[in-house]
Structure 1
């Protein structure tokens, strides 16, 4: 895959999807429906999904695209594929909290090697460059021209004073009990894949997730974190979290900066 070609497409599609999402987000009202698994879906999810999937298929017709909003794609598999969550953090969107993202990633042999995470309501755009390193872009986000970028690198953690980020909508006692095993300086919460990005920027050292997630929820943030020098491992045995699993479901996992002394499950 020629990432010099791929990354501008992923970046542009994420920005275009963000525009479609914000048009609905800033409207007076929007409908919220329940999917078969009882998770919420809105017209914003569907508009962003249609835009991204059409764009990927036009640019890369021979590459599988797995997307949350198209159930038929969930039964398909390939060694390399795009995986998309057009609106990650729908609950945050519905409650107008702003912590939602557009997630687009490219997975190669089980690893999300490139990705884009765009938080349109927060004006934050994170992506891996063609060489795999991660940056955060600032500015007006011109769709065809990359603006000012800041290279990202994870922090050097102090195991006696860790910065921990946890889910805003899915926090539970098991997560709190696990976090209690660490020396914590401070904690913050965030929605969607922004949690991976906070570790990538050095704003947090550790993000444990003891709850159900799907690969489209995590792949783009995972790629962003890898490109900043971080790691994502399974919670149970601390082996790398891989992609292309049966039904695209994730086990519990831990995202962290190297140097964090991981505790046993």
Structure 2
């Protein structure tokens, strides 16, 4: 009887957790199709006009493109910085490694308000960086921390015998990394890139301190919400949600396929 109860309660609890997580997202997507000027329940009629209106809004589209560009740059930089750091932490003997790992994790565990204020004070020495360079620097600082930890765990399980075999056959360090190490850790690199991009794309608090006259999509949405919740915001948010989910599912399918091929090999 107890086993049957737990067998029913666990799926129900899991379903409630997922409903709690995804219900706000579903509401945003639903309201994006509401024909009323002030979306709300019940829906009287559906329309696609808000999507066209949002894509024709130069301010929203400009902030979206700015966020995409800065997030891509920050994701690439953080992954490029995290990879050698993770290799050193995983493969080199080091004293007080646990302390170093705690310091690497610092920008993640610090409140974003404190981090944004600290970076603002630091960048007073270089006021010309305020704006897009400062946002990229701040997002790279934040995302490189957990990118390092994710790649560190990947390198811990890496078989060093592959590298030794390649070096014994005459390959130098660059060739070994490009032809042996990188293909084997590529699924983890893609996962780190996607996670860093997602975090940088949606980050608001630190970007608000660093922005100056630059307007990213979260900043544009926040300033719009202070005045009037336009249905265009729901439509653009729905587009971002759907594209993000599609990219995440596609990347996950690709990573699973790569992992399956590696296990079969």
Same fold (TM over 0.5): no
Q: Which has the higher helix share?
A: 2
Q: Which has the higher strand share?
A: 1
TM-score normalised to structure 2 length: 0.25
Bigger RCO of structures 1 and 2 (CA < 8 A, at least 6 apart) = 2
